[in-house]
Amino acid sequence: MSVPVLAVEQLSVSLAGRPVLREISFTIEPGEFTGLIGSNGAGKTTLLRAILGLRSRASTSSGQVLLDGRPRARRNPLIGYVPQRVTLDPDVPLRARDLVALGLDGHRPGFALPSRRRHAQVQEMLEAVGGGAFADARVGELSGGEQQRVLLAHALLGRPRLLLLDEPLAGLDLRSVGEVVALIARVAAEHRLAVLISAHEINPLMPVMDRILYLAGGRAVHGTVEEVVRGDVLTGLYGHPVDVLHVHGRVLVVAEVGGGTGPAAAPAGVEVLS
């Protein structure tokens, strides 16, 4: 029985007094691809940050996060983190190549002495993510999709065993979404990485997910897609009636809204949850 790369036990997080995550527990096995699905504001970023050990001032948390069976330390070389976006001015003098290179040794003091080996490693990783073309462009001038690749290369250079990606697909056009998902899956397979990727839509990740962690109301359900994405399971999670529809090979999770009686009733309709 292998040790899970990540084990989250009874994790609860409150932000400024309001509970955001309630007793979340799940594990990720080495090499497993897990999708973290939830609507905006469901707490996906909070969960990722909690795993990374990033605390904001107003947050309190309880529970445990174990990496490779051991409690989380201040430095976690095991985890590669790909944030959603880098808000960089095009004026900032940092090329894609430089940002990626920081993934290698950015945490060490001093300058990096120019070395052929270092350059080769950075070049190789850039090409692996399909970023060779814009390696010398400024990070602030890259498009969203291009930035994702650079951030991915940056995270991979740290030789992680678990890759955390915070909504990498948000704001990308349809074609880029497919490309990025394929890229992440390929890279994860090549480097034998476990992946935890957050998104608010299930469908782009369906082809590559091993398991899904579905977040709603501060609670989560963990399992394979067949186990989790079911009407009865999600109704239990949300606490109100939820249907799972299969339309043209895609999954739609919908909830009924409004439609009560009385003067204050909202108009009846259907809302797509993910």
Partner 1 sequence: MTATGALVASGFFSSPAVGTALVIGAAVALVSGPLGVFTVIRGQSFAGEALGDIGMSGGSGAYLAGVGPLWGFLVAGVAAAALMELLGVQRRRGRDLATGVVLGSGLGLAALFLYLNSTEHGADVTMTVLFGSLFTVDRSTLPLVLVLALLVLLALGAIARPLLLASTSPELAAARGVPVALVGAAYLVALSLSVALCAITIGSILSTALLVGPAAASLRLARRPGRAMAVAAALGVAATWLGVLLAYDSYDWPPHHRGWPVSFFVVALVLVEYMLCGLIGGRRRAPHPAPDTAPPAALGG
Partner 2 sequence: MFSGFMVDTWLAGILVALLAGAVGFFVVLRGSTFVAHALPNGSFAGAAGAALLGVSTFVGLAVFAVLGALSIAGLGRRGRHDAVTALVLVLMLALGALFIVLGAQYAPAVDALLFGELLGVSAAQLGPTVVITAVCLLALVLLYRPLLLSTVLPDSAQARGVGAGVVELCFLLVVALATAMTVPVVGTLLVFSLMVGAPAAARAVCDRPGRALALSIAIALTAVSAAIAGSYETDYPVGFFVGTVSAGCYVLGRLVGTRRRRVDHGAAEPAAA
Give contact residues for partner 2 (rule: CB under 8 A). 49, 52-54, 74-77, 79, 81, 83, 86, 88, 91-95, 98-99, 102-103, 105-112, 136-139, 141-146, 151, 154-155, 158, 171-173, 176
Angle formed by the axes of helices 144-156 and 96-105, to 10°? 20
Binds 271: which of partner 1, partner 2, none (CB < 5-8 Å by kind): partner 1
Binds 74: which of partner 2, partner 1, none (CB < 5-8 Å by kind): partner 2
Going by DSSP bridges, is the β-strand pair 18-28/33-37 parallel, antiparallel, or unpaired?
unpaired
Phi, psi (rounded to 5 degrees) for 16: 50, 45
Strand, coil or helix: 158 = coil
Q: What is the DSSP string of 32-54?
A: -EEEEE--TTSSHHHHHHHHHT-
Give the interface segment with partner 1, choosing from 11-19, 78-86, 105-113, 151-159 (CB under 8 A): 11-19
CB of 12 to partner 2, least distance (A): 21
* Contact with partner 1 (CB under 8 A) among 20, 122, 125, 129: 20
Phi, psi (rounded to 5 degrees) for 193: -100, 145
Q: Which long-range contacts (CB under 8 A, 24 or more apart) does 147-150 make?
A: 147/85, 147/86, 148/82, 148/172, 148/180, 149/180, 149/183, 150/96, 150/99, 150/100, 150/126
Q: Does 117 bind partner 1 (CB under 8 A)?
A: no
Q: Does 84 bind partner 1 (CB under 8 A)?
A: no
Return the number of the residue (144 or 231) whose C-beta is nearest partner 2: 144
Q: Which residues bind partner 1 (CB under 8 A)?
A: 15-18, 20, 39-43, 46, 58, 89, 91, 200-201, 216-218, 238-240, 242, 255, 271-274
